[in-house]
Structure formats: C-alpha cells, structure tokens
Structure 1
Amino acid sequence: MEFLLNPAALGDVLASSVRLGIPIAFAALGGVFAERSGTYNIGLEGMILAGALGAAAGSFMTGSPLVGLGAGIICGVFSGLLLGVMAIHYKVNQLVAGIAINLLLVGLTAFLSRLIFGDMAGGARVEGFGTINLAFLSEIPIIGPALFSQDPLFYLLIALAVGGWFWLFRTNSGLDLRAVGENPRAADVAGVPVFPFRYTAIAVSGAIAALGGVHLVLSQVYLFAEGMSAGKGFIALAAIILGRWSPVGAVLAAFFFGFCDAMQLRLQFSNPDVPYQAFLIIPYVASLVALVGFVGKVRAPAAVGLEYDREKR
C-alpha cells in the first residue's frame, strides 16, 4: 500500500478507479430511474451488452464513434422497452423478467456479433473516443488525471447524474415519478399517468445502462467481446442500494466499486506469486459487504417490484 504515499501513483489509481467505475455508474444510474418508478431492472447486465454491441456495430460500419454512441443508446432503449412490456403490460414477475432479459441479450449479442463481424468477431477494432484534458485542471496533483483527463462519456455521466438528481428531487415531474414508485394508486387518483411514467422510466433506464457498454467499447477496449460486461450490471444493483436510490449516490457508490477493481488489478501485478483469482473476487466481496451492511438500513421505493392493476381494489 506504499502507493498511498506517492502522489503520482495515487493519482494513477484514482484515474483507473474512475475509468473502471464508469460502466458500473451508467448501469446504476439507469437502474435508479427504473426503480424509482416502481420497476426492478435486473436486466442491467444484458443492457450493458446490448449497448456494447450497438456501439461496436455502429462504429465498425461507419467509422464514426458518434454513430456507435447513438446505436448503443437505441439498443438500450429497445432492451428497456422489452423489459417494460414483460413487467408492466404482461405483469411478468419483475425479477424473472429481468433474468430473462439478461439471458436473452447474452445469447443474442454473441450471435449478432458473429453475424456482423464474421471472422473478425472478438477482434474487430473500432473507432472510439479519446481523452479530453481540461487545460491546467488535468495537471492538479492526484485528482487532476482522475477528474479532468477523461473521455467525453465521463463528463456526460456527471451531467446525467447531477441533472437527474435535480430533476428527480427538485421538479414536479420528478415528484410524480417518485410518487408512481411509492404509491401508484394514489398517484393514479391524483391524475398522474402511471403507465406512461413507468414505460418512459424503463426506456431511459435501458438507454443510460447501455451507455455503460458504449463506454467499454468506445473508450476502453475499442472492440466487442462476448460477455464483456463481466458482472458489472450485477455490481450496479449493489451500487443502487448503497447509493440509496439517488442518482448522485449511485454514481459515487459505483466509483467505490471501481476503486475496488483498480485495487485488485494493482494487487495482482504487485503480488505475482499469489493466484490472481484471490484478487479477482475483491469487487464482488465489496458488493456483498455493502449489501449486508446497508440493506437493512435503507428503504427502497415502496411499490418497486409490485404489480399495479388500476382495475383492482
């Protein structure tokens, strides 16, 4: 842990923590909006993969990362709406529906990647986003590389988190969404359109979660690989709880898990004699500890996961 005394090394660890936490943060942020409307989004893992494939395919076919960004978002929206149709319209158990979305998208993205990239599947390089250095701010010791020398999607994440927090807790429509997630019948009686709010929230949730996959492809590895989400969607579920269903809180919790991931990578390189599997479990152990330590101390939206039928009394 001597790097804690070295400002340059500490800055590198923090920068890595942010980069590794961004996909988790996007997924967690998307999950917050879905669950605030009363719909569990267990399908975050699959939506990350959908966004990753859309980004890779769009950039590969056109050579433009902006087209890849748009394609990834569209894939996320359709994934979210599919979950919405299952959970809201057909009233499938929301946990079961989310698991089904994950299983579907894991298989579908693997199949489509081979169809789109052919023999280059798993190795087709695509155009992506570069790093933006914010003038002298990026040269600030320790925090400069972490906060002011990142790709454009990082700054988009911060804008979405802050803007989402303001909208959710400081606007009338944000209050309506929270009311739908707390007591949909009371909101319905008050004239709030429950189902349109839930469908919109789950579509937005899918779009934002897909940005996690977009970041993996266009800002980290510049290719699509099967299963590249690697459990980040499930860690995002823990970040939602740890962040108390707040957009900003969920993003900060995701960066904590990113720090755990950065630490396990650093420990692998500094301890080559220790089996690397011993360090790989660190982020997952951290998520379990967070859930065990906080699940009894926070309260989820009261109606999340519950079926709502306006015809029933």
Structure 2
Amino acid sequence: MDLNSVTIALFLAAGVRMSVPVLLAALGELVSERAGVFTIGLEGLMLFGAVASAVGLAMTGSPVAALAIGMLGGTLAAVVLALGTVLARANQIVMGIGFNLLAMGVTSLIRQLVLGDTPPAGSLRSVTMMKLPWLSDLPVVGRALFSQSPVFYAAVLLAVALWLMFRFSRLGLLLRAAGENASALDAAGQPVLRLRFGAALFTGMLAGLGGAYLCIIASGGTFIDDMTAGRGYLAIAISIFARWLPLRTLLVAFALGLLEALQFQGQYLGIQIATPLLMATPFVVALVAWVVMGRVGAAPGDLGKPFLRGAGH
C-alpha cells in the first residue's frame, strides 16, 4: 500500500469508529419512533450509559463488564423516561429536554462523588480491536471495516436483524402498528402500552451502549462531563433522515462519521476547510433532517402522540 492508500484507510477507519455511538443510538431511536415514542431524551440516556460504564470499569476492571453495565445504566434511565412519556402520557418533547438537562447534572455529580480521579483500569484491547481473519488483510477496506471494535460488528448485525424484524416478523408488524395507528391496534386486542414501553427500554439499552462506547472505547475509559456533545440529538436526526429504515440508518451514520473524521484528518487528505466549519457539518445535516421531517409527512402517524384507551387521536 502506498502512502495515499494508507491515509485513505486511516480516514475510513476513523469514520467507522466515530459512527458507532450515534449508529447504536439511532437504531434504538428508530425502534421507539416506529412504535410512536419520540425519545428526545436520547442524549441523557447516552450520558447515563457513559457514566455507568465508567463506574463499572472502576469497580470490575473489566471493559466487557463495563460495556454491559453501561447498557444496564441506559436501560434503567429509560425506565424513568418511559414511565413519564408512555405511562403517564407526559409531553414527550418537553420531558425529553428536561431529562437531558437532568442527566447532565446527575452524571456530573456521579463523576465527582464516585469516580473522582480514579484512573481507568487494565487493558481495553478486548473491546477496542478485533481483526477478522483474511478480511482484515484486504487493501484499504481491511483496516477500515475489518479491524474494528467488536461493538461495531454487533451494531452492523443489529441493523440487519432490525431490518429483518420490521420486514418479516410479527413483532415488527406490531411495533409499526403501534406507531401508525395505536387505536386500531388496541381495538385488535394488542397491548399498545406494553409494546411502546418495551421499545423505549430497547432504545435506552442501545443508547446506553452507545454512551459506553464513547467512554470505554473512544475515550480510554475516562468519563468527562457532557461527553456526548450532542450526539443524542444527532442520532435522532439520523433516524429521521434515514426514514426509519435500519440499513439506511447504518449508511447515514457512517457518512456522518466520515464528516466528523474530517475534523481530524482532513488536512492529510488535502482538504482545506476551516475546522469549525467541519465540526458544524454533521449538525447542519441534522438540522436539514428536522426540516425535512416537518415538511414531508413520512413519519409514523402516531409518533409523539400519547396513547389513552378510548380517547382516540
């Protein structure tokens, strides 16, 4: 490989790494939105997952256990959020924004009281790199796609599994119906609230894993305040921009990961664009997605609407 191909491979690999946390959160958001729950609190769920993983790493010294604890932290936080938005039927946007603000304060307090200056424990190699035999030796794409964290491979497989679920399974049909016409689904004798609550918890689990990835894999096990830096909102935009389709979500997340990677490697590729502009680019794309959602009636029909049996919509 010549120098140019090495540079391209490093750029693609960086784009993949940076896409993983938002991809995981976007896949979770896709499921909850398909079920009718607009999880604006995704940013807070990622933060809780990140701080839980840091605490888990400090307690166990195992990066694998830390990722699992991060998933648990995101799930437990999602229980609180879902109790308000799904069962108590609070305004999903207002409560989500409030939840994000609460998460910023609570996770910062946990960092000060529990983590302090505790250094990350042990080697993180088991979760940061897994080379797939033969494939990792391919020129350019080998390093970019097949020498990544096992979490990335899991995220790709999950995207495929969600595509299969929504396209071919009864559960996928029920989740889509809960988001499109909850009253009709309820009239058919199906548990709308249970489906929505389960979808919200699944979103929390994936958002927690995305936050744990940021803390354990991307930051070497160190938690800092507000380390998600808007990625939760970006993940919401990705799911909207991808029209709630799992495989398209995978591609959009990777494209935005490449845009983020330009901040650090653009100069090596000969791209002369101001760094602040490159930093803003993913969020400009997110803004476009929000505008598109407002102008095009492609969203699930009951998205963001609380369900109350017999009340209609």
TM-score (norm 2): 0.92
- Superposition RMSD on alpha carbons, in Å? 2.1
Go from structure 1 to structure 2 and tell me whether the alpha carbon gap of 1:272 and 1:21 turns closer, same or farther (over 3 Å shift). closer
SS in 2 for 1:230: coil
Distance 2:102 2:271 in 1: 38
Counterpart CA distance in 2 for 1:260 and 1:210 is: 23
Q: Structure 1 residues 249 and 295 mapped into 2: Cα distance closer, same or farther (>3 Å)?
A: farther
Contact 2:8 2:269 in 1 (8 A): no
1:70 aligns to 2:68 (yes or no)? yes
Partner residue of 1:125 out of 105, 120, 125: 120
CA displacement, residues 195-253 of structure 1 (integer Å, 9 cap, x when unaligned) = 11011000000001111111112211121111110111111111001111112222221
Map of 1:57 onto structure 2: 55
Q: Give the CA deviation at 1:286.
A: 2.8
Partner of 1:213: 211
Question: Distance in 2 between the 1:181 and 1:17 partners?
Answer: 32
Q: CA deviation at 1:47?
A: 1.0
Partners of 1:254 and 1:8 in 2: CA distance: 23
Q: d(CA) in 2 for partners of 1:134 and 1:201?
A: 32
Aligned residue for 1:236, secondary structure, equals helix
Counterparts of 2:292 and 2:102, CA distance in 1: 32
For structure 1, the 5+ residue unaligned runs are none
Q: Matched residues, percent identical?
A: 37
- 3-state secondary structure, aligned to 2:139: coil
Task: Determine whether 1:304 maps to 2:299.
Answer: no
CA contact (8 A) 1:241 1:298 kept: no
Distance between the aligned counterparts of 1:139 and 1:297, measured in 2?
A: 44
Q: Is contact 1:56-1:126 (8 Å) kept?
A: no
Name the residue aligned to 2:83. Answer: 85
- The count of residues paired between Structure 1 and Structure 2 equals 306
Distance 1:298 1:21 in 2: 27
Q: TM-score, normalised by structure 1?
A: 0.92
8 Å contact kept, 1:261–1:283: yes
Equivalent residues in 2 for 1:109-188 (5 A)? 109-118=107-116, 120=117, 124-127=119-122, 128=124, 129-188=127-186
The whole-number CA distance in structure 2 between the counterparts of 1:80 and 1:235 is 18
Deviation at 1:263, TM superposition (A): 1.3
Secondary structure of the 1:6 match is helix
Within 5 Å, which residues of 2 pair with 1:245-264? 245-264=244-263
Q: Which amino acid aligns with 1:240?
A: S
The 5 A counterparts of 1:220-239 are 220-222=218-220, 223-239=222-238
Structure 1 pair 268–297 and aligned structure 2 pair: CA distance change class (3 A): farther
1:293 Cα deviation from its structure 2 partner? 5.5
1:284 matched residue in structure 2:
283
Distance (Å, rounded) in 2 between the aligned partners of 1:287 and 1:273: 23
- Offset at residue 298 of structure 1 (A): 6.1
Per-residue deviation, 1:161: 1.1
Unaligned runs of 5+ in 2: none
Deviations 1:18-77 (A, max 9, x none): 100101101101101110110001111111111111111111111011221221111111
Task: State the Cα distance separating 1:266 from its structure 2 match.
Answer: 2.1
Q: Is the 8 A contact 1:239 1:251 kept in 2?
A: no
Aligned partners of 1:26 and 1:251 also within 8 Å: no
Q: 1:292 to 1:88 in 2, by over 3 A?
A: closer
